[in-house]
Amino acid sequence: MKKRQYNVLDLFCGCGGLSKGFEMAGYNIVLGVDFNEPALKTYAYNHHGSKTLKGDLSSAKTFEEIEQIIGRKKIDVIIGGPPCQGFSLTGPRNFDDERNKLYLAMIESVHRFSPTAFMIENVPGMATLYKGEVRDEIVRRFTKMGYNVTCKIICAADYGVPQIRKRLVFIGLKDSTRGFEFPTPSHSVENYVTCEQAISDLPSLVDDIGSDVAEYVMPPQNDFQRLMRGECNVLYNHKAVDHKQFVKDTIALVPDGGNWKDLPKGVGESRKFHMAWTRYKSDRPSRTIDTGHRNNFHYKWNRCPTVRESARLQTFPDDFVFIGNKGQQDKQVGNAVPCLMAKAIGEELVKYLK
């Protein structure tokens, strides 16, 4: 008997980190919806067989377009990471405020398509915002719609991601008597995948800034690098920023895992905030990958990480190609959900869908 592939709708999909992880877990990604055109181009290029829609998810028109694209397909799972900035301004009593309309779109989508399960990913700060009242209201609304909701802050490094990235995840199961149990971590502090283990096989770019399409210079050095390469034999998006010499000289003074506090007096003083001049620590996972990467530097080489290096730290496989200019690509990588974390959740969720 053919194994059932569960259909997934990805809202606020960005370039598709969540979709890629669920795809790795065996799901069929039907559609990705977002308003960011460069991110959607990357999504379309990498998710063959999945459709894309550029649309404003606060608009009823967009939901009508989604319904037309999906047709008679049953949506089994809805996934997404809607922005939640509005809640910090409006508070739980003004949950339906206009500024929260994008988050409310996630609730509307579950109401419309009645999936068997949903997953929402967000920043961990939402768990404690207004003493947890916003989180509790989200759970209450989905519970009222017939979903058993579980939420938990999880760390991507626990699932083989070489990055300390914490996220609040909501999982809802329709008409279920049991709540979702998050997957058991595959890694712990003692065996986290490190920055060096993640990217040491990639060219140093010491003598040139590289190119968007290049070749590997050495074979994979460990299981993680073999996993990321897969069958890929071309190196994409590995191009460095052409730093000015004084920037390179300043970075060179920062030790492995150090930051601006390790610089000599009078050097690099234009940047003195928490993350300034931070060099990745070779024997630890990276900090959270952000959308700029201008304050984080390679653990060994005197430059910012390339898009491919950041993508490795987000566990995008090497055959995942990012479209757009460097700034757009950095934003796509930084906004994404780490693929291996999404895969672990997707694999666990299958048990509840059967």
DSSP character string of 20-31: HHHHHTT-EEEE
* Catalytic residue (one of 15, 84, 151, 195): 84
- The verdict on whether 84 is a catalytic residue reads yes
Whole-angstrom distance, CA of residue 19 vs CA of residue 11: 10
Q: What is the DSSP string of 279-333?
A: EPPTTS-B----S--SSEE-SSSSSPPPHHHHHHHTT--TT----S-HHHHHHHH
Q: Assign 50 to helix, strand or coil.
A: coil
- Those residues whose C-beta lies under 8 Å from the C-beta of residue 184, and which sit 6 or more positions away, are none
Q: Which two tokens stand for residue 101?
A: 């309309």
Q: Is 265 helix (H, G, I), strand (E, B) or coil?
A: coil
What CA–CA distance (Å, rounded) separates 233 from 212? Answer: 14
**Which structure tokens are listed for 131?**
């003493």
Q: Mind telling me the catalytic residues?
A: 84
